[in-house]
């Protein structure tokens, strides 16, 4: 049995809670006080802001809610949380006492016949109880658990990243669906107008007021419009297929529903961008990068702890019972208890190399966090610049369409009266068609800009959640 003079110091050292390696501190980065094209006012927590409702589109609202519950990327991210939770248990298990029990019983017999018959039988029963306890004197398992807890936090943040990505993708795909539907409607409207012009040209050819060249030119414009529609229909279906896949459904399942049509989504109000410092709190990818940094810092302690001696207290008890027919039973009990010391002396630099590797990994994790912050700031600045300018483009194109439509009406009336040539009508039709397509594309871009801005500030990923705060585990030492 160990002397009290040996056990007492070991116990005091164990209870002292010595943990090697650096402690994680929140990283810092210098950021401007405001975005270049926004006010210097914080927007607080935006994780539950349902920004997509600004489009006032009930179908889009339904798709968003549906996909938050069944999008496969989100469900995979949630499973990774379960795996991270299991890893926390695994990481901390090594510092707890372990106990293994075993038991066995064997009966053997010998039957002999040499003048007289005899039957000898022997029963051997035994068991063992083995216990061990690794004394985590330098925080090997405490740092391991700290790293696992930080990784668990990163998994929660990664699930929020998956939700935010889904919001971006489903809104963008829905905007594309309505854009291509608008383009198809414009093409069909132009096709009707150009067919009327072709019919008029044929009548004038019969009356001697037009040439065969005029008819051929009109037919060419009709056919070019017919050739444009199939490509637009393909792009519409591609965007509709994307929405279905995001919702975890077969690709073509939503096509009939989306073919009913609706106007192009237009946001009804502006988004508050907040200040750059808000991104560190609101962007889940930045939070995930910070938690990955915390995990990497804890791994430095794990590597350093392996440089120091390791002590394991172990013991075992093994009872044994022998029952022999025609003889006395025998019983025995063996036991053992004592510490095991493991001291690294020479390993060719492997353990110190592990420390340097962990330190390098932590520095890389910090740079990744810093890059995530700067990328987020850039995304918001780009979105703000686009939102402000693309709306002016829409206003100008709306006026352009109105002017060209009036020019087409005047050119058509003049052509009917014989005061102008067919070329004037065809040019006016091309101008109207181009302006309408440009306007539809500009409206699409404004909607995409609005989505990009809200995603860039980290808005809406926790919509419908009871608690807006991301689960975070506090590591106690």
Under 8 Å between Cβ of 295 and 147: yes
3-state secondary structure of 292: helix
pLDDT over 90 (residue 123): no
The reported pLDDT for the residue numbered 270 is: 86
Helices (H), 57-139: 58-70, 72-93
pLDDT over 70 (residue 463): yes
The reported pLDDT for the residue numbered 437 is: 94
The reported pLDDT for the residue numbered 11 is: 52
Under 8 Å between Cβ of 254 and 240: yes
pLDDT above 70 covers a percentage of the chain that reads: 91
d(Cα 265, Cα 440) in Å, to the nearest integer? 11
d(Cα 330, Cα 469) in Å, to the nearest integer? 66
Question: 153-182 pLDDT, tens per residue?
Answer: 999 999 999 999 999 999 999 999 999 999
The reported pLDDT for the residue numbered 205 is: 83
Among 115-129, 417-431, 461-475, the range of highest mean pLDDT: 417-431
The reported pLDDT for the residue numbered 259 is: 93
Place of tokens 């109880």: 129
The reported pLDDT for the residue numbered 476 is: 33
- Complete DSSP assignment for 97-119: -EEEEEEEEEEEEEEEEESEEEE
The reported pLDDT for the residue numbered 113 is: 63
pLDDT over 60 (residue 119): no
pLDDT over 80 (residue 473): no
The reported pLDDT for the residue numbered 153 is: 95
Under 8 Å between Cβ of 24 and 293: yes
The DSSP symbol for 22 reads P
Strands (E) located in 158-294: none
Domain residue limits, the chain: 15-95+139-307+349-456, 97-135+309-343
Q: Which phi and psi angles does 38 have, rounded to 5°? A: -145, 165
Q: Which secondary-structure segment (H or E) carries 374?
A: helix 350-416
In angstroms, the Cα distances linking 319 to 105, 127, 234, 273, 334 are: 12, 6, 79, 73, 6
Q: What is the largest CA-CA distance in the chain?
A: 141
Task: Provide mean pLDDT across the span 313-334.
Answer: 80
pLDDT over 50 (residue 474): no
d(Cα 260, Cα 443) in Å, to the nearest integer? 20
pLDDT over 90 (residue 18): no
280 half-sphere exposure, CB direction, 13 A CA radius: 13
Q: How far is CA 416 from the centre of its chain?
A: 61
Is CATH 2.60.120.20 what the domain over 15-95+139-307+349-456 is classified as, yes or no? no
- Which of 425, 408, 431 is CA-nearest to residue 204? 425
Of 51 and 474, the one with more pLDDT: 51
85 half-sphere exposure, CB direction, 13 A CA radius: 9
Under 8 Å between Cβ of 31 and 295: no
Question: 371-416 pLDDT, tens per residue?
Answer: 999 999 999 999 999 998 999 999 999 999 999 999 989 988 888 8
The reported pLDDT for the residue numbered 326 is: 61
pTM metric for this prediction: 0.85
Place of tokens 């492997």: 350
The reported pLDDT for the residue numbered 48 is: 92
Of 360 and 342, the one with more pLDDT: 360
d(Cα 119, Cα 208) in Å, to the nearest integer? 130
Under 8 Å between Cβ of 143 and 301: yes
Cα end-to-end distance, the chain, whole Å = 31
Q: What is the mean pLDDT of the chain?
A: 87
pLDDT over 80 (residue 419): no
Question: 263-309 pLDDT, tens per residue?
Answer: 999 999 888 999 999 999 999 999 999 999 999 999 999 999 999 98
Beta bridge partners of 342: 310
Question: 30-44 pLDDT, tens per residue?
Answer: 999 999 998 889 999
Under 8 Å between Cβ of 184 and 106: no
pLDDT over 70 (residue 227): yes
The reported pLDDT for the residue numbered 1 is: 41
d(Cα 11, Cα 336) in Å, to the nearest integer? 20
pLDDT over 70 (residue 2): no
pLDDT over 70 (residue 417): yes
Question: 59-73 pLDDT, tens per residue?
Answer: 999 999 999 988 999
The reported pLDDT for the residue numbered 477 is: 33
- Complete DSSP assignment for 205-221: HHHTSS-HHHHHHHHHH
C-alpha torsion 228→233→239→243, nearest 10: 170
């Amino acid at each position: 049995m160990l002397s009290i003079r040996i056990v007492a110091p070991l116990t005091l050292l164990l209870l002292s809670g010595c943990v090697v390696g650096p402690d994680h501190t929140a990283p810092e980065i210098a950021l401007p006080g405001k975005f270049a094209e926004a006010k210097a006012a914080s927007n607080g927590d935006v994780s539950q802001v349902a920004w997509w409702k600004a489009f006032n589109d009930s179908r889009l609202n339904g798709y968003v809610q549906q996909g938050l519950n069944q999008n496969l990327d989100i469900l995979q991210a949630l499973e990774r949380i379960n795996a991270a939770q299991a890893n926390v248990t695994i990481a901390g298990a090594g510092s707890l006492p372990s106990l293994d029990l075993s038991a066995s019983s064997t009966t053997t017999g010998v039957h002999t016949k040499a003048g007289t018959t005899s039957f000898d039988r022997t029963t051997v029963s035994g068991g063992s109880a083995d216990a061990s306890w690794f004394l985590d004197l330098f925080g090997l398992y405490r740092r391991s658990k700290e790293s696992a807890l930080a990784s668990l936090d990163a998994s929660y943040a990664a699930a929020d990243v998956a939700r935010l990505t889904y919001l971006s993708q489903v809104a963008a795909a829905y905007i594309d669906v309505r854009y291509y539907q608008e383009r198809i409607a414009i093409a069909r409207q132009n096709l009707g107008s150009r067919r009327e012009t072709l019919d008029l040209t044929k009548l004038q050819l019969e009356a001697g007021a037009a040439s065969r060249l005029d008819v051929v030119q009109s037919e060419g414009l009709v056919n070019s419009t017919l050739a444009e529609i199939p490509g637009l229909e393909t792009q519409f279906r591609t965007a509709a297929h994307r929405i279905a896949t995001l919702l975890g459904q077969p690709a073509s399942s939503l096509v009939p529903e989306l073919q009913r049509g609706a106007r192009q989504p237009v946001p009804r109000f502006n988004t508050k961008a907040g200040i750059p410092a808000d991104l560190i709190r609101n962007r889940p990818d930045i939070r995930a990068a910070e938690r990955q940094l915390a995990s990497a810092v804890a791994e430095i302690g794990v590597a350093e702890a392996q440089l120091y001696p390791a002590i394991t207290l172990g013991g075992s008890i093994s009872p044994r019972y022998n029952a022999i027919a025609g003889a006395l039973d025998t019983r025995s009990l063996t036991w053992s208890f004592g510490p095991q010391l493991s001291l690294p002396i020479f390993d060719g630099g492997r353990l110190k190399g592990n420390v340097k590797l962990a330190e390098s990994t932590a520095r890389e994790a910090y740079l990744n966090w810093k890059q995530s912050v700067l990328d987020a700031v850039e995304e918001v600045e780009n979105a703000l610049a686009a939102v402000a300018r693309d709306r002016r483009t829409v206003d100008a194109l709306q006026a352009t369409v109105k002017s060209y439509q009036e020019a087409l009406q005047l050119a058509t009336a003049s052509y009917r009266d014989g005061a102008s040539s067919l070329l004037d009508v065809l040019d006016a039709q091309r101008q109207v068609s181009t302006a309408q397509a440009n306007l539809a594309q500009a409206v699409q871009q404004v909607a995409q800009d609005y989505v990009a801005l809200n995603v860039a500030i980290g808005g809406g990923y926790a919509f419908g959640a009871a608690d807006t705060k991301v689960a975070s585990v506090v590591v106690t030492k």
